[in-house]
């Protein structure tokens, strides 16, 4: 039986990523975001929603670049720490011990320990209320060999990505395979 | 060891949802989308990326309303079927057997079998290339009592949501809890 509730963001699950930014001065920053999504395939684009009061917002406005670093479950402490501490006074690379690697197309660093990194340049900005949406065109992607199978495809069992469940506030493992795109061939069983 | 690749949408996992639309005439439609994300908290907003050649695109342009229906794993066949068949010539409610329920604030119906529904009105539209981004303000939310615990909070074990892994093309269960927002209190172990 359904009941109606006041409007809320009831999307479950969402991704959870570490976004790196670098302003015109000072250290690079890391922030954990779940308000992230793919918005376009060609050219590839992702969006991130950032509150204007966040340190990341200022760095995004200064340089218009960011990297989306996709974590594995072994990084869940780093994910939580970077979502609860402000980068205004803290170097989160030093705090968490993750390693900044040089990106090839943008200034913000890649996080070495994240198996996937996407280098992005801001293509559109949209003020929506509590958050500003930054839409980034993906300029380059990096994948760690440790998550690829012998054919070079991503292996989820090797990757062990993290899902976030807003509202419930859980970090969850990505569990067993229950199907694949096209497995029904468009027909109900 | 990392290797650089051409730009691609390497976000893993993403949500996967059933989006309902209703034009000015004809039957309501259902489409499966993974290019969906939360973009704003106050007011609550979600975005969906839709290709202009899709039937859903025309219905969105006609009425500017949609519902995001969040499936559980028991609906994985319906999710796949609605992502592989066009609604131009097919009534996907009839094809899948899911039940349309009347929404309270918009015209497109809710899918009864989805434990969570969000009624949305398009607030912004942005043409990005292959996809157009429709940003919807969430006007009402519906939750099924079967996924709520005794305190009225969402219970993921009762819900059993689905995660999608683009690139790999897997539908995956949401697995075990590996942490919760704030569990580190901002400190590394």
The model's pLDDT over B124-167, given as tens digits with 9 standing for 90+, comes to 999 999 999 999 999 999 999 999 999 999 999 999 999 999 99
Give residue-wise pLDDT tens across range A133-189: 999 999 999 999 999 999 999 999 999 999 999 999 999 999 999 999 999 999 999
In a domain, A137, yes or no: yes
Residue A26: predicted pLDDT: 87
> Is A105 domain-assigned?
yes
Separation of alpha carbons B3 and A63, rounded Å: 25
Res. A74 pLDDT band, cuts 50 70 90: very high
Nearest of A97, A79, A176 to residue B183 by alpha carbon: A79
Please answer yes or no on whether B38 and A38 come within 8 Å at the CB atom. Answer: no
Q: How far, CA to CA in Å, does B185 sit from each of A28, A82, A83?
A: 22, 10, 10
To probe the interface with B, which of A79, A133, A162, A167 has the most B CB atoms within 10 Å? A133
Tell me, yes or no, whether A113 lies in a domain.
yes
How confident is the prediction for chain A on average, in pLDDT? 97
The domain that holds B168 is classified in CATH as 2.30.110.10
Q: Residues B40-71: pLDDT tens digits?
A: 999 999 999 999 999 999 999 999 999 999 99
Report the alpha-carbon distance of residue B124 to residue B11 in Å, rounded: 23
Buried b (16+ CB within 10 A) or exposed e, A65-98: bbbbbbbbbebbbbbbbbbebebeebebbebbeb
pTM of this structure: 0.98
Measured in angstroms, the CA of B25 and the nearest CA of chain A are apart by 25
CB contact under 8 A, B14 and A15: yes
Residue B142, domain extent = 17-173
What is the DSSP code (8-state) at residue A129? S
With respect to residue B10, please indicate whether it lies within any of the assigned structural domains.
no
Residue B1 lies in a domain: no
Q: 3-class DSSP state for residue B145?
A: helix
Domain annotation covers residue B124:
yes
| pLDDT at position A15 over 90 | yes
Pick the residue with more confidence: A87 or B13? B13
What span, in angstroms and rounded, lies between the C-alpha atoms of B41 and A28?
26
**Residues facing residue B148 across a β-bridge:** B154
Residue A32 lies in a domain: yes
CA dist list (Å): B175 to A136, A171, B146, B172: 30, 10, 19, 9
Q: Where are the alpha helices (DSSP H) in chain B?
A: 55-63, 76-84, 92-96, 156-159
CB contact under 8 A, B76 and A163: no
Predicted local distance difference test score (pLDDT) of residue B92: 97
Q: Return the pLDDT at B26.
A: 87
Asked if pLDDT for residue B91 goes beyond 90, the answer is yes
Residues sharing a CB contact under 8 Å with residue B67, sequence separation 6 or more, in sequence order: B19, B20, B103, B106, B108, B109, B110, B111, B117, B118, B119, B120
> Is the previous residue joined to A74 through a cis bond, with omega within 30 degrees of 0?
no
Q: What are the Cα distances from residue A136, in Å, to A36, A46, B104, B134, B173?
A: 11, 5, 35, 16, 29
A76 CB contacts (<8 Å, ≥6 apart)?
A: A162, A171, B178, B179
Counting residues of chain A whose pLDDT is more than 70, the rounded percentage is 100
Do the Cβ atoms of B34 and B80 come closer than 8 Å?
Answer: no
Rounded Cα–Cα distance for residues B185 and B82 (Å): 42
Q: Which of B143, B182, B185 sits opposite A3 (nearest CB)?
A: B143
ipTM of the complex: 0.97
* Min Cα separation A152/chain B (Å): 11
- Helix locations, A46-168, DSSP H: 55-63, 76-84, 92-96, 156-159
Question: Count of A–B CB contacts within 8 Å?
Answer: 356
C-alpha to C-alpha distances, B45 to A49, A133, B3, B119, B185, nearest whole angstrom? 11, 11, 36, 10, 28
Considering only the beta carbons, identify the residue of A11, A44, A126 that sits closest to B124: A126
pLDDT band at A67 (very low <50, low <70, confident <90, very high): very high
Inside any domain, residue A74 = yes
Whether B47 and A47 lie within 8 Å, measured CB to CB:
yes
Which residue(s) pair with A30 in the sheet? Answer: A20
What is the distance between the alpha carbons of residues A127 and B25, in angstroms, rounded to a whole number?
A: 34
Q: In the predicted model, what is the mean pLDDT of residues A98-121? A: 98
CB contact under 8 A, A129 and B95: no
Overall number of domains in chain B:
1
Biggest distance spanned by C-alpha atoms of chain B:
59
Phi, psi values for residue B44, rounded to 5°? -65, 130
């Amino acid at each position: 039986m359904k009941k109606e509730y006041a409007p809320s963001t009831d999307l479950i699950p969402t991704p959870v990523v570490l976004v790196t930014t670098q302003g015109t001065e000072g250290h690079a920053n890391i922030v954990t975001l779940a308000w992230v999504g793919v918005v376009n395939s060609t050219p590839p684009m992702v969006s991130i929603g950032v509150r204007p009061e966040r340190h990341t917002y200022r760095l995004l406005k200064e340089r218009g670049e960011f990297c989306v670093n996709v974590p594995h479950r072994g990084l869940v402490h780093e994910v939580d720490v970077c979502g609860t501490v402000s980068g205004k006074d803290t170097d989160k690379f030093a705090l968490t011990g993750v390693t900044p690697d040089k990106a090839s197309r943008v200034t913000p660093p890649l996080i070495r320990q994240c198996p996937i990194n996407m280098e992005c340049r801001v293509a559109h900005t949209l003020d929506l209320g509590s958050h500003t949406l930054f839409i980034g065109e993906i300029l380059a992607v990096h994948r760690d060999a440790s998550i690829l199978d012998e054919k070079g495809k991503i292996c989820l069992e090797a990757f062990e990505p993290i899902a976030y469940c807003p509202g419930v506030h859980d970090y969850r493992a990505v569990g067993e395979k229950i199907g694949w795109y096209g497995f029904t061939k468009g027909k109900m069983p």
